[in-house]
Chains A and B, each alone.
Chain A
Amino acid sequence: MLYRENGQFKTTYRADQQIFPIAQDRIAIALLLAVAFIAVPMLASDYFFRAILIPLVIMSMAALGVNILVGYCGQISLGSGAFMAVGAYGAYNVFVRVPGLPLIPAIVLGGLCAMFFGILFGLPSLRVKGLYLAVATLAAQFFSDWMFLRIKWFTNNSDSGSVSVNGLQVFGMPIESAQSKYLFCLALLVVVALLAKNLVRGAVGREWMAIRDMDVAAAVIGIRPMYAKLSAFAVSSFIVGMAGALWAFVHLGAWEPAAFSVEVSFRLLFMVIIGGLGSIMGGFFGAAFIVVLPIVLNQFLPALMGLFGISISTAGVSHAELMIFGALIVWFLIVEPHGLAKLWSTAKQKLRLWPFPH
């Protein structure tokens, strides 16, 4: 009875077009934001921040970016890890080379680098699509792996390609404690998510979806495939690049090219699949799932096995993790191809009718 839209009348187009047309949703989101910005920083422990919350927030942003490309525009990409790497190293380069550059412009510039890289490697999408494109995007991945390992200029002449940053601060406030890191990433995530949500609601988003659903038909009705595809690549890699810069600067602090290997690309794709293709909400669910699952498995699998009197090694846990990952992906594809986001929207639909199912 709580989640009902009866009596909420919309008298203007503005009111009809808002992101959350139902009052309860607006309240829920406001509460959620309040919890995320106020309650969580007060309650969570340092370990919780570093192991779960910060990776979660950053990966949500990356998943959001990937979702725009894969979920909204239908261009399967296995090169997201490369875009993250370009964002990270791009931001690092401007940060090191321009003295006194504040953190936020550095991250945005990193995102811009990733954007150009993304457009460059998105060019094949104009000619090839589907599976061929998925393989073609791997080129971006291997190229960036090589570039940051071998071209010394990008890593400021470090031998192994590993670099580090310190003394981060925003508007004079140091970003050193886990709390401040979390709040900084969260604030950026909220801004990006809002922008992304509005983009996919608008004309550009509709073009992307038309291209995804059937590109030939979309071209026939006057959508320019080149513009739509490349803009999806640009927006997506910009967001992914910013996430990469955050991941490197804020989460890792010191990193090397291997931090953005092809494995990262796969993980990002899984986040999008499990969370829900073509849904902003899905990115958050997927990221939460993929970030939290390994930690939960690491904590509970040995205990669970202990109940049956089997001891399990660390290698065993990591193998079990691989198997559970794989099985879950297949399971999701079979049972719920639209991912966790679809479950969420089904639940909301049911709540609207509750307690009368019809």
Chain B
Amino acid sequence: MAFFLETLIGGLMAGMLYSLVALGFVLIYKASGVFNFAQGAMVLFAALAMARLSEWIPKWTGIDSPLLAGIAAFILAGALMFVVAWCIERLVLRHLVNQEGATLLMATLGITYFLEGLGQTMFGSDIYKIDIGMPKEPIFAFESMFEGGVLINKEDVIAAAIAAGLVILLSIFFQKTSTGRALRAVADDHQAAQSIGIPLNRIWVIVWCVAGVVALVAGMIWGSKLGVQFSLTTVALRALPVVILGGLTSVPGAIIGGLIIGVGEKLSEVYLGPFVGGGIEIWFAYVLALVFLLFRPQGLFGEKIIDRV
């Protein structure tokens, strides 16, 4: 029982981290109708920038405190993500207004490759580490209930808390501010939004900036867990089933989808894996999402798609 709980909690925590990456997808899709395949590359780019800057800043400025250097690196990396967002809007999206979703998807594939190349050219392609001072030692909970207690990773708890905070902030932003409303209008229909005077270009910059910051946070957390390296981009591929399970347009969907996928993955790996040779995590998530799509094509919380001729 304790083992089951441990797996369950581990799955929930992993799911929270998936949601964090999935959130980046949902944000951009919700606000601009672009399925942003480049989210993984953005996570890598941001994490690389963060890791390398926190290494370089003490050298440049002579700041000794790792905390100060970390904060400075975070701000600088955030600024860099703004620049990236602005460039993407200016150089790519502006020229593709009113194009079909598929075209935009492929454009983001191009951006993916470009960012991967650029990030590694600028910051190097070795394995770097981010140290944001997260406690590493595990804690034991429910010791009175089970023998030996349930092992929980403190790092995961903090990461989950950060993710939850980010989600709440973003939900408020989308629901309560006029910019948030404008973002949703753009997602519904580029042309209609433009015609009522919503500045499409500015909206795009804003939303890519926000996605950049979300990528930075995700990159920071994932990077401090796994180390910053190229394989970080595959985190995005892990987060894709989360998005389709939860629905492309729903922030809560990203969270719940993340939790379902996280738990499903871990439980399947532990209880089903041994029978079929193990390593089923990745495709199990996809198949789970796929089976789900057969019953509810728009995802758990997605908006119903209505086609008209």
Contacts and interface: CB of A to CB of B under 8 A. Distances in A.
B309 A334 contact: no
Interface stretch (A39-47, A194-202, A278-286, A316-324): A316-324
Interface string A151-164: 10000000000000
A118 B286 CA distance: 16
Interface in A281-320: 315-316, 319-320
A139 interface: yes
Interface string A320-358: 111111111110011001000000000000000000000
Interface string B102-134: 110111011111111110110001000000000
B307 A127 contact: no
Nearest to B114: A326
Contacts of B105: 76, 131, 134
A266 B1 CA distance: 43
Given A326-B110, A327-B110, A132 B279 contact: no
Main secondary structure of the interface of A (DSSP, over half): helix
Contacts of B248: 131-132
Contacts of B276: 150
B35 interface: yes
B283 interface: yes
B111 to A, nearest CB: 6
A48 interface: no
B242 to A, nearest CB: 10
A21 interface: no
B277 A135 contact: no
B114 A334 contact: no
B290 A139 contact: yes
Interface in B271-309: 276-280, 282-283, 286-287, 289-290, 293-294, 297, 299, 307-309
A136 B237 contact: no
A131 B101 contact: yes
A326 B289 CA distance: 29
A135 B240 contact: yes
Interface in A64-104: 74, 76
A248 interface: no
Contacts of A139: 283, 286-287, 289-290
Given A323-B121, A337-B103, A330 B110 contact: yes
B148 to A, nearest CB: 32
Interface residues on B, range: 35 or more
Contact of A315 (B118, B125, B244): B125
Contacts of A215: 307
B262 interface: no
B96 interface: yes
A128 B121 CA distance: 38
Given A124-B293, A319-B117, A323-B121, A273 B282 contact: no
B107 A135 contact: no
B290 A136 contact: yes
A76 B102 contact: yes
For the complex of A and B, the 10 pairs showing the least CB-CB separation, nearest first, are A326-B114, A322-B117, A326-B113, A329-B110, A323-B117, A139-B286, A150-B277, A330-B110, A142-B283, A131-B35
16 contacts: A128-B293, A131-B105, A136-B293, A143-B287, A146-B282, A216-B309, A269-B109, A270-B109, A319-B121, A320-B117, A321-B117, A322-B116, A322-B120, A323-B114, A326-B117, A330-B92
